[in-house]
């Protein structure tokens, strides 16, 4: 499972379930597994340390032999529908082919997020053969008054 998608799933679980009741990594692992993800507990533990560094809202405390996690306040995370993710990737592919590769490269984290959304929610059958573009039929003329 893609790390960005996994982090988003963990943040969603923390935001939804840790209000006033911090969650252990074992409990987070159970919730992630319940969401349909096959992730090892050790990966969750590493992810929690990464998330703590990336998001100051993610807090933890040691209690006994376990670490409890929660979010201090609501996270303003990136939210994107599957349609928006597909549109964004197609626009970025098109832009990189027409001389905007440097700009597209600067937006690579956004592109990776969109790709992780699409990769982790594939339809049961491949429908890529029916997606077409009409950009091949567009002609460009040079100059303003040619």
**66-71 and 23-24 strand pairing:** antiparallel
Computed over every residue of the chain, the mean pLDDT equals 80
Alpha carbon of 91 to those of 114, 124, 139: distances in Å? Answer: 12, 25, 18
Most confident of 45-49, 73-77, 125-129: 45-49
Residue 74 C-alpha from the chain's centroid: 17
d(CA 124, CA 5): 19
- Whether residue 88 contacts residue 116, with contact meaning beta carbons closer than 8 Å, is answered with no
Q: Answer whether 0.95 is exceeded by the pTM.
A: no
Indicate if the pLDDT at residue 49 is higher than 80: yes
List the domains of the chain with CATH numbers: 3-71 (1.10.10.10), 78-122 (no CATH)
β-partners of residue 71 are 58
pLDDT tier for residue 125 given thresholds of 50, 70 and 90? low
């Amino acid at each position: 499972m893609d790390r960005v998608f996994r982090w988003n799933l963990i943040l969603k679980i923390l935001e939804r379930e840790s209000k006033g009741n911090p969650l252990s990594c074992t409990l987070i692992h159970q919730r992630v597994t319940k969401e349909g993800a096959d992730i090892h507990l050790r990966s969750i533990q590493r992810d929690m340390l990464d998330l703590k560094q990336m998001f100051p809202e993610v807090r933890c405390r040691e209690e006994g032999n376990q670490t409890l996690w929660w979010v201090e306040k609501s996270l303003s995370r990136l939210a994107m529908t599957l349609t928006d993710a597909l549109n964004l990737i197609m626009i970025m592919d098109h832009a990189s082919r027409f001389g905007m590769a440097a700009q597209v490269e600067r937006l690579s984290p956004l592109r990776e997020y969109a790709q992780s959304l699409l990769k982790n929610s594939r339809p049961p059958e491949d429908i890529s053969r029916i997606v077409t573009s009409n950009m091949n039929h567009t002609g460009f003329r040079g100059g303003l008054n040619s």
